[in-house]
């Protein structure tokens, strides 16, 4: 009976304790102001946690295979799952090593003759094997870079060739190396002034009515001054601007860091000077 009394007393004491706790919790709940859940704070917290997870995954998973030029991402996933992404370097064909990117920068009609100016940009070979194949392709197309007597000299060098076509007769106007480490800037300008039609009289009396040139991509205007003091101003336009515009323009060219312009003088006028004016 003594044991039973102790047990009953413990149970009574236990009931009292639980009851007291229940009352305390109820009182505390009455003092709490219940409002709308802090949604923005929850979202920000979730974003921070996701950002930390991505940062850790990115730092742990980036692997660069230098010898092959391949970028691989591995180890991002759950459990044993692995995600791999390999980025292969562009091929010679994709870099336009064997066939140039051709852009028509201007066209028009003069004295019932159709004319247009094209620019071919050849990508730089990365090996002597690519250089030999490019040399053969250039030879077949009639292009002869001055430094290409030995094919290996083409390695690491891009090349452009500018041609004027009048009634389907093509004439080379300019050609040169494209050095990606030495781009044009400021008022830099390279140009050539040529007759729209070849002089067939043998006296070299044809006027240089057509001016073709390249400038820095930041150039906004180029002013061509003719021998009678009049001027033509070429203005910067997007690549898809109409090629047969009667106004001279400056436009970007695929494969070239420089922008290109063409000015044509009226009949009876020749080129005097040309410069970047803005």
Summarize pLDDT for 48-104 with one digit per residue, the tens.
Answer: 444 444 444 444 333 333 334 444 444 445 555 555 556 888 998 899 889 999 999
245: confidence class by pLDDT, cuts 50, 70, 90: confident
Angle of CA points 196, 197, 203, to nearest 5°: 115
pLDDT in tens, 191-232: 999 999 766 554 456 899 999 999 999 999 999 999 999 999
* pLDDT on residue 148: 66
Query: Percent of the chain beyond pLDDT 90?
Result: 45
The encoded tokens of residue 135 equal: 């040399």
The encoded tokens of residue 89 equal: 């370097």
Domain ranges of the chain: 2-87, 101-121+157-276
Q: How far apart are CA 188 and CA 218, in angstroms?
A: 10
Question: Smallest Cα–Cα separation from 154: which of 140, 138, 135, 139?
Answer: 135
First to last CA, the chain: 111
42: confidence class by pLDDT, cuts 50, 70, 90: very low
165: confidence class by pLDDT, cuts 50, 70, 90: very high
């Amino acid at each position: 009976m003594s044991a039973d009394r102790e047990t009953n007393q413990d149970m009574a004491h236990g009931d009292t304790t639980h009851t007291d706790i229940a009352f305390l919790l109820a009182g505390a709940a009455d003092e709490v102001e219940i409002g709308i859940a802090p949604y923005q704070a929850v979202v920000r917290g979730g974003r921070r946690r996701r950002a930390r997870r991505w940062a850790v995954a990115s730092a742990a998973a980036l692997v660069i295979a230098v010898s092959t030029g391949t970028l691989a991402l591995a180890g991002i996933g759950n459990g044993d799952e692995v995600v791999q992404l390999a980025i292969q370097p562009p091929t010679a064909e994709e870099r336009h090593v064997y066939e140039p990117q051709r852009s028509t920068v201007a066209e028009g009609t003069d004295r019932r003759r159709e004319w247009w100016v094209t620019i071919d940009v050849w990508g730089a070979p990365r090996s002597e094997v690519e250089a030999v194949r490019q040399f053969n392709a250039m030879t077949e197309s009639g292009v002869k870079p001055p430094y290409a007597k030995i094919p290996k000299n083409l390695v690491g060098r891009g090349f452009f060739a500018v041609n004027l076509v009048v009634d389907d007769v093509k004439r080379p106007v300019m050609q040169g190396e494209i050095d990606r480490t030495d781009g044009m800037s400021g008022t830099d300008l390279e140009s050539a002034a040529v007759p729209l039609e070849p002089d067939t009289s043998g006296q070299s009396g044809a006027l240089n009515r057509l001016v073709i040139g390249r400038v820095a991509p930041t150039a906004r205007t180029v002013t061509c001054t003719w021998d009678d003091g009049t001027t033509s101003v070429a203005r910067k336009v997007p690549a898809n601007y109409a090629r047969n515009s009667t106004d001279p323009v400056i436009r970007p060219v695929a494969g070239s860091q420089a922008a290109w312009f063409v000015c044509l003088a009226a009949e009876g006028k020749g080129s005097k000077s040309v410069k970047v004016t803005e």
